[in-house]
Amino acid sequence: MNAFLARTGVNALALAAAAWLVQGITLTGATRVRQVLSLLVVAIIFGLVNAVLKPIVRLLTFPLYLLTLGLFTFVVNAGMLLITSALADTLRLSFHVAGFGSALAGAVVIFVVSMLASLAFGGKSR
């Protein structure tokens, strides 16, 4: 349970950083409390999307991972971020990713922030 809470917190931190740094990723809301709650729900959705869909996509795109020496990871992560944005829009949460370019930049920010947070908190980085 603690690992789930820690991973959700790291995801929320990374998504907040992406929304702050990438112009096409927006986190809106009437109040800060609503933004934080939306961000926590989006972090849970992001974690579930990564847990369920990402292994399937990795398996199907394995040759592209080999061909690009692993850089295709950012494209897959951008896709997961777009799926998360679509689910957040469906649930009327205040998180939106404008397009693939923004998702790709957001995937890079999320990767860096997640790695730094995992190293800072002593967890293993993904």
State the pLDDT at residue 6. Answer: 86
- The angle formed by the CA atoms of residues 4, 69 and 42, to the nearest 5 degrees, is 25
Beta bridge partners of 26: 96
> If you search the block for the tokens 């957040």, which residue do you land on?
88
Q: What is the pLDDT of residues 26-57, one digit of tens each?
A: 998 778 888 899 999 999 999 999 999 999 99
Report the predicted TM-score, pTM, of the whole model to 2 decimal places: 0.89
Task: Give just the sign of the alpha carbon dihedral 103, 107, 108, 110.
Answer: positive
In angstroms, rounded to a whole number, what is the distance separating the alpha carbons of residues 95 and 39?
A: 7
* Structural element, H or E, at residue 126: none
